[in-house]
């Protein structure tokens, strides 16, 4: 009886299908994933783990964003970029405040083939550090074709001029003509991925604001019927400090048409009327804060601020 049961169990074990390796397309996707997703994919199966650990393809484009940004420092950055074996093409560090000039310079020196350098919000990097990195890439390979430095403190016109001079070497057209070919809209600023920037042909994200003459992000108006465009002395183009813009559509807002949202962003009257609003304060949320909606006991939608006030606490009390 025992022998027959063992034979049955052995037959069942042999009948179980073997695990198949993932589709070949999965390995091609690794090269387009941010660092966090690459690490997660390495935990799916042994085949993907070996591909992540032994293949340089997933590490040719290093993109660090989200929760990993505040954890990244110079030492970890060196370990990650070293997996590309000096063939790194894209380095995108989004809001990585712990990365310094020294860490960036070490990565640039060991990876001379970088053609996209995006470090917006990396407050630990100085304008001098950016300029030194760009000069290093220009002297060694001259491959840099895209630079994003919005959010780095104390960038002056002199720094911008030096960066433009170094980037101009790779341009088939003058930089001014390249910049005019592509419009930048305020409501799309968060959706400009590293790979879409190559299509936009903008080599650097900052320029001189035509209103205040400061080095900032300059936005265009997407509205075809914009009143400012009809007045040549006041074109609808400038930084967010000079021309207030709607968080939802990116259009300019006149002084008497500014509407506040529950997330403290501003909207034009047209968008404010169309967006869903809180049942208590009658204020909407922008696209970036749609996850801030709460549901009350009567299934109505309320904003986070009103929900906090109704319970007598704030979400920061639990952080």
Tens digits of residue pLDDT in 238-260: 999 999 998 888 888 877 778 88
The residue that leads in pLDDT, 13 or 18, is 18
Whether 188 shows a pLDDT value over 50: the answer reads: yes
| 75 lies in some domain | yes
| 6 lies in some domain | no
Whether 96 shows a pLDDT value over 80: the answer reads: yes
Domain count, the chain: 1
The residue that leads in pLDDT, 297 or 81, is 81
Whether 75 shows a pLDDT value over 90: the answer reads: yes
| 189 lies in some domain | no
| 165 lies in some domain | yes
| 157 lies in some domain | yes
List the domain range (segments joined by +) for residue 131: 60-170+202-207
130-161 confidence digits (pLDDT tens): 999 999 998 877 778 889 999 999 999 999 99
Q: Which two tokens stand for residue 240?
A: 């967010």
**Number of helices and strands in the chain (H, E):** 12, 12
Do residues 76 and 103 lie in contact, with contact meaning Cβ atoms separated by under 8 Å? no
| 100 lies in some domain | yes
| 121 lies in some domain | yes
| 246 lies in some domain | no
Q: Give the model's confidence band at 301: pLDDT under 50 very low, under 70 low, under 90 confident, else very high.
A: confident
pLDDT computed for residue 287 by the predictor: 74
Q: Give the model's confidence band at 295: pLDDT under 50 very low, under 70 low, under 90 confident, else very high.
A: low
- Average pLDDT, integer, range 192-198: 50
Do residues 109 and 79 lie in contact, with contact meaning Cβ atoms separated by under 8 Å? no
Instruction: Determine the Cα–Cα distance for residues 149 and 165; give it in Å rounded to an integer.
Output: 16
- Average pLDDT, integer, range 312-316: 50
The residue that leads in pLDDT, 225 or 215, is 215
Whether 317 shows a pLDDT value over 50: the answer reads: no
pTM: 0.75
Backbone torsion region of residue 179, taken as left when φ is above 0, otherwise alpha when ψ lies between -120 and 50, otherwise beta: alpha
């Amino acid at each position: 009886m025992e022998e027959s049961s063992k034979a049955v169990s052995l037959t069942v074990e042999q009948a179980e299908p073997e695990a198949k390796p993932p589709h070949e397309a999965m390995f091609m996707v690794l090269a387009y994933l941010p660092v966090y997703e690459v690490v997660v994919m390495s935990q799916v199966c042994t085949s993907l783990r070996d591909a992540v650990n032994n293949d340089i393809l997933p590490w040719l484009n290093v993109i660090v964003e989200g929760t990993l940004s505040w954890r990244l420092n110079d030492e970890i950055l060196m370990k990650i970029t070293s997996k590309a074996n000096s063939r790194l093409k894209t380095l995108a560090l989004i809001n990585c405040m712990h990365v310094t000039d020294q860490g960036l310079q070490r990565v640039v020196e060991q990876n001379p083939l970088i053609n996209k350098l995006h470090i917006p919000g990396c407050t630990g990097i100085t304008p001098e550090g950016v300029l030194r990195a760009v000069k290093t890439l220009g002297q060694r390979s001259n491959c840099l074709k895209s630079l994003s430095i919005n959010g780095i403190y104390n960038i002056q016109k002199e720094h911008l001029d030096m960066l433009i001079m170094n980037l101009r070497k790779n341009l088939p057209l003058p930089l001014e003509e390249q910049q005019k070919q592509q419009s930048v809209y305020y409501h799309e600023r968060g959706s400009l991925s590293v790979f879409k920037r190559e299509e936009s042909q903008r080599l650097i994200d900052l320029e001189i604001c035509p209103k205040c003459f400061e080095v900032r992000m300059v936005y265009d108006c997407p509205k075809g019927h914009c009143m400012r465009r009809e007045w040549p002395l006041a074109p609808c183009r400038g930084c967010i400090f000079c021309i207030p813009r709607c968080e939802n559509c990116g259009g300019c807002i006149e002084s008497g048409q500014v509407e506040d949202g529950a997330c403290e962003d501003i909207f034009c009257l047209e968008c404010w009327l169309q967006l869903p609003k809180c049942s208590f304060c009658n204020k909407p949320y922008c696209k970036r804060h749609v996850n801030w909606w709460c549901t009350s006991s009567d299934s109505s939608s309320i904003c986070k601020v009103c929900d906090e006030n109704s319970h007598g606490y704030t979400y920061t009390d639990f952080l």
